[in-house]
Amino acid sequence: MTRILCVDDDQALNECIRELLDDLGYEARGVLSGADCLYILESQSFQPDVILLDIMMEPMDGWETLKGIRGLPASARTPVVMVTGKIPTAEELNEFVSLINGYLVKPFALQYLGKEIDHVIKCVRKKDELMERARTVIGDEATLNEFCRLQCSVPTLERLSINVGKDLIDQVALARDRRRLDELKQRLLHKP
């Protein structure tokens, strides 16, 4: 059973999302702060398969919590979906896009949440398979790091472009990154 950790300081919304996730067949837990999230992850009392993370929380916001999540060995690779009413700024996208796996803007249709979680899990599995192949095919560390960055950021930016609007995303840079990712994937697929 897929385990989901919901991190949102709005207790009513947190409970609503958890109940929906339980109804959809997930094992869901909720916490009301970034500090509680990091405590659970650090203590390994609940090891989620996906983290749903609000941005606008006090005193530790979602971006700071995200940095903490990525800094913990037990959760460094756990998929994170930002679930928030805040449209990201260009600066936030530049800094954090390679650290997140999805972005849902509140309000959203609750039935869409399960679809987003399933999509993220499927993408992460595919990315992990490609990364394993990349480690054996790509010889240099710099290219492997570039592939890893693009494997995370391009799909997230494409989905953000659809969900929050193309004006927010630098479409020229996204097209360039998409081409480069496609080149690296072709290199992986055509080598023994």
For 110-131, how does the pLDDT look when each residue is reduced to its tens digit (9 = 90+)? Answer: 777 888 888 888 877 877 777 7
**Buried-exposed string 96-134: b where 16+ CB fall within 10 A, e elsewhere:** bbbbbbbbbbeeeeeeebbebbeebeebbeebeebbeeb
Spatial CB neighbours of 113, under 8 Å, sequence gap ≥ 6: 17, 20, 21, 24, 52, 83, 104
Number of compact structural domains in the chain: 1
On the CB side of 24, how many CA atoms lie within 13 Å of its CA?
20
DSSP annotation of 97 reads G
Portion of the chain with pLDDT greater than 70, in percent: 95
| pLDDT for the residue numbered 191 | 60
- List strand residue ranges (DSSP E) for 46-179, in order: 50-53, 80-84, 102-105
**Three-state SS at 78:** coil
139/162 Cα distance (integer angstroms): 35
For 138-180, the pLDDT digits (tens) are 766 777 778 877 877 888 888 777 766 677 677 888 889 899 9
- Could you tell me the strand order of the sheet in which 50-53 lies? 27-31, 3-7, 50-53, 80-84, 102-105
Structural domain including 175 reads 3-190
The CATH code of the domain that includes 40 is 3.40.50.2300
* Count of helix runs (H) and strand runs (E) in the chain: 7, 5
DSSP annotation of 87 reads P
Look up the pTM and report it.
0.80
For 62-113, the pLDDT digits (tens) are 999 999 999 999 898 899 999 888 888 878 877 888 888 888 888 777 777 8
